[in-house]
Amino acid sequence: MRKVENGSLMSFKPSSGSVYPMLKKLVSEGLLIKRNDGKYELTEIGHETNNRIVGSISQNALTEPIDRSAIAIETALNEIDSYLSFLEDIKKEKLIIHEKRLENFMERLQNMKKSI
């Protein structure tokens, strides 16, 4: 999907590392069911939740400006969470060769936490 916003070309393509953990979470929360044909469908609770979210977005869109930086931060954190879920499912022996890089990520996150 491509969209021009403020003169910029943006693209968004979710990765399987973010989509499948999210689908699994939505199924475990009872918001989706996985059908026999492999497709997903909203449950009744899923429909109600969706209507509440869409309704609140619609109401806020009329009265409050959209905080795009907050949305971008939330999106980035959701992506990180999804990738962590993916990495947690990988056998440790496959991750050991990436130990230094993982340590670097942890150090960077700790530095970010100290700065807030």
Q: What would the pLDDT profile of 46-81 be if each residue is shown by its tens digit?
A: 888 888 777 655 555 556 666 778 778 888 888 888
Does residue 16 carry a pLDDT above 60? yes
DSSP state of 94: H
Does residue 93 carry a pLDDT above 90? yes
Q: Which residues on adjacent β-strands are paired with residue 32?
A: 42
The residue that leads in pLDDT, 110 or 85, is 110
Report the candidate in 24, 17, 54, 21 with the shortest Cα–Cα distance to residue 40: 24
Helices (H), the chain: 16-28, 44-63, 68-88, 92-95, 99-115
Q: Is the pTM of this model over 0.85?
A: no
Mean pLDDT of the chain: 81
108 band by pLDDT with thresholds 50, 70 and 90: very high
Does residue 12 carry a pLDDT above 80? no
Identity of the highest mean pLDDT range in 3-12, 68-77, 103-112: 103-112
For CA atoms 82, 83, 88, 91, the dihedral sign is positive
HSE (side-chain half, CA atoms, 13 Å) at 58: 6
Q: What is the dihedral of CA 78, 59, 47, 69, to 10 degrees?
A: -10
